[in-house]
Structure 1
Amino acid sequence: MNIETKIRTAIIDDREDNLNVLKDFLSFLPNIDFVGGASRYPKSKKLLLDEKPDLVFLDIEMPGRNGFELLHEVREQGCTDLSVVFYTAYDQYMMQALRESAFDYLLKPFTMDELKAVVDRYVKEQEKKKTQKQLAVVNTPKGMPEMIALPTSTGIHFVDKNSIVMFQCEKDGPKEKPNWVVLENGQQRNKLRQGVTARDILSIVGTECFVLINQSTIVNLGFLATIEFKTRNCLLVPPYDWLELSVSRSQLSELRSRFDVF
């Protein structure tokens, strides 16, 4: 991440005075692009889903639902690349924050040096990811399939990423837990390991060619034929055009924005 790259940043805090203090602190960092702040749950959720910031400072103690619940909801609705810094006056949430794959944890009150250290770590982490991605591209022979490893119920399934049609979360029976299944070109199906989430899948396949169209379906854009705005029906290319898929309202808005369709 070079010096010109801006970090799109949001703040969620139920106390507007705390929100404004953090906003003022961030204004001293030249690589921060502040995209918005919110202090109430509905506006907070809308802000994160609409803006999809790179980095969010998220308060944990909020009226009604807490920051962890908010994070779960937006991740399930496609906000999977979000880096979260939980910031709170209480240190007892630190272990839970780690379990939620938080990027960092900031205790109130914090100093400018502590805040800058968090942002600097974020920049270094993004630079590291960019380098790893570039190396992966360089080391992949031209014309070779882009193989990925998917955790299945019996082991590991190696598959060409471009041959994946979609992922769906299904139940084998009313008493069974839902499980993600991968459908490959050629109608081959493989059940993924129990506990794998949509976020896990998107972290493996990437979001450039795969999109979460609803909470239980991830589609390869290479197999997508049409999306009807009025009905929100989604149609795949033959021979998969018999599948009945629908796009959630939030994801329809995201797709329209992504492809500049108004």
Structure 2
Amino acid sequence: MEAPRPSALKDLFDGAGYLVRGIAWTARHPAQWLFGLIPALIVLVVYGTALVVLALNLDGLAGWVTPFADGWSDGARTSARVVAGIAILGASVFLAVITFTAMTLLVGDPFYEAISERVEESEGGAPPDRDEAPLLTRIGREIADALVLASVALVFAVVFFACGFLPVVGQTVVPVVAALVSGYFLAGELTSVALDRRGLRRRDRFALLKRRRPLALGFGVATFVVFLIPFGAVLAMPGAVAGGTLLARERLAEVVPADSGGLVAG
């Protein structure tokens, strides 16, 4: 008789627990933590500069996207542009958080691959790498995956920006939905290192996440919240990769690609 599936609420907390476990692992291995900070710092400088430039020009951008308010009274025009500024900044932060992880993993692939392998070795051993593609092919595939993710994130950012103008809903429901979407994609990115090693491509990885959505959301949303803390994305990135590896190893890797390319129980 099949064991009952855990409740969604339990999966949410279990998923968040993987981030805690990953951070605890890096705390026990400080050299690996410092090693993983390097690519995150590089990407942070680029993203931080872009967000500062955006913030400095926020008033102008808010006016540019609300030309319809030019003829309104001062109070109404100011209110419209404050909402527009919040929506622009919120959509930009959403886009930055999602793509930050993808870009950091891309820039720091050798760093995080090494951390992920160390995590697996500490848990009993890493599986043999099933991806036999040449290095340049793998890099090209990772770039393509990052571009796909950025394109999807951009679409969501535009939607959230537009919804940000809705009274009340735009300032309450939309940020929550944005956090859930961000968390889901973060979970996909942070488990990709370990799942790539098992021969799973992007479509298969997200198929696994869909089957364990509450677990993935718990891990991803917890990571998203930590990444919103100043410098949290840099300091927690090695731990997030370690947590994603533990999650992939223990809860997602019950299916592996068959020789025919499909997913089978394993």
| TM-score (structure 2 length as normaliser) | 0.27
Higher relative contact order (CA 8 A, sep 6+): 2
Q: Name the structure with the higher strand share.
A: 1
- Normalised by the length of structure 1, the TM-score is 0.27
